[in-house]
A and B are shown apart, each in its own frame.
Chain A
Amino acid sequence: MKKDLFPIFNNNHEKFAYLDNAATTHKPQSVLDSLMYFYTTLNSNVHRSVYLLGEKATEVYENSRDVVASFIKASDRREIIFTKSTTESVNLVAYSWGEANISVGDEIVVSILEHHSNYLPWEQLAKRKKAILKIIPLGKNNDITIENVRSCLSNKTKIVAITHISNVTGTITPVKDITREAHAVGALVLVDAAQSIAHVPIDVKDLDCDWLVFSGHKMYGPTGVAVLYGKKNILESMPPFLFGGGMVRDITNEKIEWAELPNKFEAGTPSIAEVVVLGTAIKFLEKIGFDSIIQHERELTTYAFQKLKTIEKVITVGSPGLAAQGAIISFVVEGSHPHDIASLLGEYGVCVRAGHHCAAPLHSYLNIQASCRLSLAIYNSKEDIDMLIDGLKYAKKTLKI
């Protein structure tokens, strides 16, 4: 429906079905134009330049912060910190807040669905501090149930770090309810929105989460920019994570004074152009609107499930059922290895991912070595799914299964 807006689909003569959007999305013309515009018209460093060009660059850079804040309904623009990746955002919290607040015997809760980037920083923090890492298991429908969340919470729980949508199974977790339960025992909550930010509307005030993290490149924006949202009072209480230029207010006196939010957490020259372009990507998303995005992706997800069912030996893994299902489906083909299937799909012009998708704990839990994954975006069509189905037939025929 929207392929025309994305030059990549016009610049490749061979037709291809891009179904790897959970890894990264393509960029619309408006986003690419915005990148070119910044570098050809406004390029200079931000914050410290007093000449006109530098002031203009600072203005558009800071304007992006407003766009992000309004997009996720943050109450204060200073609650938006720009980082280079979702991984960095999580690590920032795990190091800055974690080092200062976690001690021996404290409990850190994650779910079995987590991507390594929202698992390892906490696992390592727990190790450093001799804290306990608790892992929320899946319910019987492969979902995250409030009962299972509750069973992991105690008055020793200091933080719950949970994905909003699983990058493997597409499971949507009840982050609002989880946050309420976590707050009831005095724990803080970090939401990994990397897989949800481009697919469902997010209101951080409504969720009441303490931190929320996501990347630009999975929402039709550029690589090299990501966001850490944090409640103002919490961010203010956290020590800096990276030290250097721009994050200090006064070092002439005996006592060093850190810069105010958000600069305290943005040491060094940021990804200026990428931050600016992220603003354009958000405007692009808002123009399409989440009602239309959800309807389109839901229709395609339902269609994909129906079609996959028609192929013998194709088994979807860990799907929670349509009620809690985002636009991501993982599957295996009995009697074959996911790498072989993905390679053959690749030969057929179908882009899917194979492996454990940086979620090894989940794959062990589901008792599979690896899986193939399809993940949808606004430009996908039923034709793409049909191509996947034909590709699967080709793969099975080639491998004689």
Chain B
Amino acid sequence: MSELYREIILEHYKNPHNYGSLEKPDASIIDTNPLCGDTITLEINCDENETLSDVAFISRGCALSVASASILSDSVKGKNIKDIEMMNYNDMQDLLEMKVGVGRAPCVLLPLSALHKAIKNIKKN
């Protein structure tokens, strides 16, 4: 039985949640992982209370990065953006309920990095 590729990860990979794009995103970000060329386009909307109201993504990447984006997108909806900004590698491992070694860390962190960049963009405007 694979440690990384549990049923839940594969399920999110095959049928990712929040996959697609938003009608009127407040921020839209394209982020890439230069090591393998994985790409994610991530869009978010925030309401006036600095709460992330909606998120959507399209990604071209490995199972871990797609599943991470899917699980992350579920977990951040309705959260305050300040809390989202605090999220890190450990939080991603907690969300995925597994240890991710340094070799695969970039795959798991790509969606989080895109999300942080999107939030930064909103703050700038």
Contact = CB atoms under 8 A, between A and B. Distances in A.
Interface string B78-104: 000000000000000000000000011
- Which of B3, B63, B104, B107 has its CB near the most chain A CB atoms (within 10 A)? B63
B3 A370 contact: no
A363 B63 contact: no
A344 B2 contact: yes
Contacts of A340: 5, 62-64
Interface stretch (A48-56, A179-187, A354-362): A354-362
B64 A370 contact: no
Contact of A399 (B5, B36, B104): B5
B32 to A, nearest CB: 11
A354 B36 contact: yes
Interface of B: 2-5, 10, 14, 35-38, 60-64, 103-104, 107
Contact of B2 (A336, A338, A339, A398): A398
A399 B9 CA distance: 10
A369 B60 contact: yes
A298 interface: no
Given A337-B62, A343-B4, 12 more contacts: A336-B63, A337-B36, A339-B62, A339-B104, A340-B5, A343-B64, A344-B4, A356-B35, A356-B36, A369-B60, A399-B10, A400-B10
Given A339-B64, A399-B63, A369 B5 contact: no
A369 B4 contact: no
Interface residues of A, number: 19
29 contacts: A337-B38, A337-B61, A337-B62, A337-B63, A338-B36, A338-B62, A339-B36, A339-B64, A339-B104, A340-B63, A340-B64, A343-B5, A344-B4, A344-B5, A346-B103, A347-B2, A354-B36, A355-B35, A355-B36, A356-B35, A360-B37, A369-B37, A369-B60, A370-B36, A370-B37, A398-B5, A399-B5, A399-B63, A400-B10
A339 B107 contact: yes
Contact of B37 (A344, A363, A398): A363
Given A340-B62, A340-B64, A369-B60, A347 B36 contact: no
Of A337, A344, A355, A360, most B-chain CB atoms within 10 Å: A337
7 A-B pairs with least C-beta separation: A337-B62, A339-B62, A340-B63, A369-B37, A355-B36, A340-B62, A370-B36
Interface string A347-379: 100000011100010010000011000000000
B4 to A, nearest CB: 6
Contacts of A344: 2, 4-5
Contacts of A354: 36
Contacts of B37: 356, 360, 363, 369-370
Contacts of A400: 10, 14
Nearest to B39: A369
Nearest to A358: B35
Contacts of B14: 400
B7 to A, nearest CB: 10
Nearest to B107: A339
Contacts of B63: 336-337, 340, 399
Contacts of B103: 343, 346
B90 to A, nearest CB: 20
Contact of B4 (A337, A347, A363, A370): A347
Contacts of B62: 337-340
Nearest to B6: A398
A356 B36 CA distance: 6
Contacts of B2: 344, 347, 398
Interface in A311-354: 336-340, 343-344, 346-347, 354
A363 B38 CA distance: 13
Contacts of A336: 63
Contacts of A346: 103
Contacts of A347: 2-4
